[in-house]
A and B are shown apart, each in its own frame.
Chain A
Amino acid sequence: MSHFYYLLGHFNPVETVTMSKKVITREEWEKKLKDVNIRKEDMNKLVMNFLVTEGYVEAAEKFRIESGTEPDIDLATITDRMAVKKALQSGNVEDAIEKVNDLNPMILDTNPQLYFHLQQQRMIELIRCGKVEEALEFAQEELAPRGEENQSFLEELERTVALLAFDDIKNCPYGDLLDVSQRLKTASELNAAILTSQSHEKDPKLPSLLKMLIWAQNQLDEKAAYPRITNFTTAALEDPAV
């Protein structure tokens, strides 16, 4: 056996490398793909799940009419959820809180971390507008008691209050709190909590399928050369690199 490898290695070193990897041609691959039957309804359900979870209510409605796929959640509740999200994303935290409480009062009562993040976001918005005194008062009245209840809240509170110590808040070490991404983070936490309260999964299925595809391709890369998908927006098959 070793002798055989030696010879091969001598004459054609490239061959030996690919020897251990199986090569699957485009034709073979496409034939295999054709053998897999995925029902159209299942694909539609995946799309609907994505639209509903992400809150694209109009698209979901249109898709329902066009494809006949029934959403697994009352579309009206999406509108409410999106109203909450929108309020938060535009910095209107109090409005968002009132809307969530109307939707289901148990969400914030049973989720102290989310409640704290919303209050923290309120304070950030006050600081953003330069309402320093109001922000301080708010921190004392509303946030300090939460910090007493939980050590990790206290640390986050300290970070937030530290914003007040800087003149140029945008460029201070805690400036990231003022970033739009902070609003989005809070909004997505709230969105997830609402979905959970509605017995709905908090993440759409499609992105995790995509993750699985990437994982599977990485695994396969070690064993075979095959037409892989590199561009996920077009999902075009690439010729195996031999």
Chain B
Amino acid sequence: MPSSVVRTRPEDLAARLGVGGAAEQGDALLRVVREVKNQIIGNKTKKLRYLHLGAVPKIVSVLAAASQGGAGHGDAAVIVQAAAAIGSFACGVEDGVRAVLDSGALPHLTSILSHPEEKVVDAGARSLKMIFQSKLAPKYDVLQEKNLKFIFSLLDSDNENVTELAACIIAHSCERSEEQKALCDAGVLQKLVSLLGGSSNQKDACLNSIEAVVKYNPEVSSKFACIDYGKALKALTNLILDRRHPHTRFLACKCLIAVGQASPCHVEELQIKSKLVLVLVELLEEPGRVGDEVPFSLKTLIEDNEELHKQALSVNAVEKLCSFLHMSSINERRLQGLLIALAELSSKLEECRCQLISPQVLSLIIDALKHDRTDVRVAACYCIRNITRSLKNISAGCLSSEAVIVQFVQLLDDPSKLVQIAALSALCNIVVNGATRKSVLIRSEGVSRLVQLSKSMDSALRYVSVQVLRNLLFLADITDKECILKELTLSTLASLVYDSDCSIQEQALALLNNLMDGCDSIKHLFAEDNMILDAIMRQLKNSSSVGVCIQGMFVLCNIAARSELEKDSVMNFLVPSHEDSCNRSLAIKFLQSKENSLRVACLWCLVNLTNPNSGGLSRRVTRLRDAGIIFQLKSMLNDPCLDCKLRVRMILEQCTEFETTQG
């Protein structure tokens, strides 16, 4: 017999629900509740429709009435149907969870967990499980004794639905480290480990909550690792090898990754970790949720670990990840994960970058830049950023095409700040070399957009956009440089040098260095009453950031390479004449810095100041001697930094050369 589509309309059914008025009683009520349940299960549209009709509070009151009306058989059937309907409302629809919580379903569902009939307990536990899988569900305060006791009473149940519920509540409620510790001290971990011997659903639930209890918590993780002399860890390593249950396998991997991250000494570094890499790469092929989530775990596992990157490469992780990119009906979550994993893998190894540069793969990543989902666009940007960490790749293939640059420029207007930052950081690498690319960016109004972003209120955005401008100016030709500077303006530059964030000051000074490099642009430093130069000198005097001082000194170094006048102004700044030298001169301060690069920067500046071909050399050497700088330099003849040592010798030679010719 084929089924009929004629079903009672939700409006009619909703009216017949609940207590009093038009509500049904007895068997008729049971049928109505069951019908509602069957209409909404799996059907989001219907759930929303019934929510609008106010069905949830009505069903909750049916549940309340039935569960209070004694344990008669009729009641039990109504309870089961009502609990199932409530659970379904809480599944997959946020408004549904809210409605269920608002109508006070929790205490009623909890009370039926002690019902004598197994079917009722099952229904209650399943329904609560649905609720606690939602982020909206209230957390159990596990620091309270009575709540802990309750959770333990559930864990001790013979009914697997109830133990799964307990695991679910733990995973949901355990967030802060004191909660993790409280649960651990109460022996929850031992209990969960013992439940790993149960059915696969129970296993999965327990693994989820073990992960929640140990995550980011070194103390709890190490206690977990020591349970029964490592038996718990052993159980997990066995589970990751069980090919029959991919979901369980994956959850066990996640637990091990969490333990390994929180307490590295307990997860024997490479041995277990390479096994994990192997298993995760295998699990990439799983359909559904497991396969979608695997790339994220793989990324977490191998993050910043070159050895594990190599491991992953050796089991063809990159080929596999790429092969999924080629699939037509790939969902957003998986696409995001694949890109994130590929970005991680290409962050260090050139070999991986080379694999991704092939036109087929690269075009897929570039397509992802246009994806609807913010997360996917961000991941694609970072992927391209890391691929272009290789100089070889920047100049290769489609990345040099005008279209790609234009696409990145468009992303600078993305509504999401995360995308803007990610796009900027990719551009940073892309614009480093290639004159054509630079001019494409300039022509496509990318520069004016970059300049706007460099004035953003958000410091992260300011930082990366100045960085892009800095790289854009690197080895750019003079017309491009002038063009960029015109857009940027000196006053913006000065305000960037004065930025409240010293990492941005540093970038701005580095930008100035690239601007001045090898051409006549140095004149801009002196324009508008030395506006820029003043800014640099102010920062050098006051900044406590080494980076800022290094970049500032390199700017001075460039100035000191020029005319007498400019040399003298640098000299006056670094080594003030006697009258105002009550403080240690800047030159001495920098030469005595612990930071190698700062000493080197300062020494290069002195190299330029003592250039034998300049006229005012005698004046300057005397000044240096009087200020005790020559003495300081002599003490640095055996500087631990080779670069410093060589520069010191060079300066001293230049000075003595002058003195001997004089003498």
User: Interface residues, chain A, CB within 8 Å of chain B?
Assistant: 90-95, 97-98, 101, 104-106, 108-112, 115, 122, 125-126, 128-129, 131, 134, 137-138, 141-142, 145, 149, 151-152, 197-199, 201
Contacts and interface: CB of A to CB of B under 8 A. Distances in A.
A206 to B, nearest CB: 14
Contact of A129 (B2, B88, B129, B199): B2
Interface of chain A, main secondary structure: helix
A90 B126 contact: no
Residue of A98, A105, A131 ringed by the most chain B CB atoms within 10 A? A105
A198 B200 CA distance: 9
Interface string B26-70: 000000001001100111110000000000000000000000000
B126 A104 contact: yes
B89 to A, nearest CB: 10
Given A101-B84, A138-B5, A152 B43 contact: no
A236 B171 CA distance: 54
Contact of B84 (A105, A111, A134, A149): A105
A97 B35 CA distance: 11
Contacts of A199: 160, 199-202
B542 interface: no
B130 interface: yes
A199 B202 CA distance: 8
Given A94-B3, A101-B41, A125-B3, A109 B329 contact: no
A141 B49 CA distance: 12
B632 to A, nearest CB: 71
A105 B41 CA distance: 7
Given A91-B2, A92-B1, A105-B84, A151 B41 contact: no
Contacts of A141: 5
Residue of A93, A101, A115, A131 ringed by the most chain B CB atoms within 10 A? A101
Given A104-B126, A197-B201, A199-B202, A128 B87 contact: no
Contact of B92 (A90, A98, A109, A134): A109
A141 B43 CA distance: 11
Contacts of B130: 106, 109
Given A112-B42, A115-B42, A90 B1 contact: yes
Given A149-B44, A199-B199, A126 B5 contact: yes
Nearest to A144: B45
A238 B160 CA distance: 49
A238 to B, nearest CB: 32
B579 to A, nearest CB: 79
Residue of A90, A94, A125 ringed by the most chain B CB atoms within 10 A? A94
A131 B5 CA distance: 10
Contacts of B244: 201
A101 B126 contact: no
Nearest to B47: A109
Given A97-B38, A105-B37, A109-B88, A125 B2 contact: yes
Interface of B: 1-5, 34, 37-38, 41-45, 84, 87-88, 91-92, 123, 126, 129-130, 160, 199-202, 244, 329
B508 to A, nearest CB: 47
Nearest to A148: B45
A141 B126 CA distance: 28
Contacts of B3: 91-95, 122, 125
A126 B38 CA distance: 19
Given A101-B38, A128-B2, A106 B201 contact: no
B88 A105 contact: yes
A101 B88 CA distance: 10
A73 to B, nearest CB: 10
Contacts of B87: 105-106, 109
Contact of B91 (A94, A97, A106, A151): A106
Contacts of A111: 42
B10 to A, nearest CB: 11
Contacts of B5: 122, 126, 131, 134, 137-138, 141
A73 B376 CA distance: 44
B42 A109 contact: yes
A202 to B, nearest CB: 10
B42 A108 contact: yes
B91 A110 contact: yes
Contacts of B42: 108-109, 111-112, 115
The 6 A-B pairs with the shortest beta carbon distances in the complex, nearest first, are A199-B199, A94-B3, A115-B42, A108-B42, A105-B84, A125-B2
Contacts of A91: 1-3
Contact of B126 (A106, A149, A151): A106
A199 B3 CA distance: 30
B220 to A, nearest CB: 28
A49 to B, nearest CB: 12
24 contacts: A90-B1, A92-B3, A95-B3, A98-B34, A105-B41, A105-B84, A105-B123, A108-B41, A109-B91, A111-B42, A112-B42, A115-B42, A115-B43, A122-B3, A122-B5, A126-B2, A131-B5, A134-B5, A145-B44, A149-B44, A152-B329, A197-B201, A199-B160, A201-B244
B124 to A, nearest CB: 12
A98 B2 contact: no
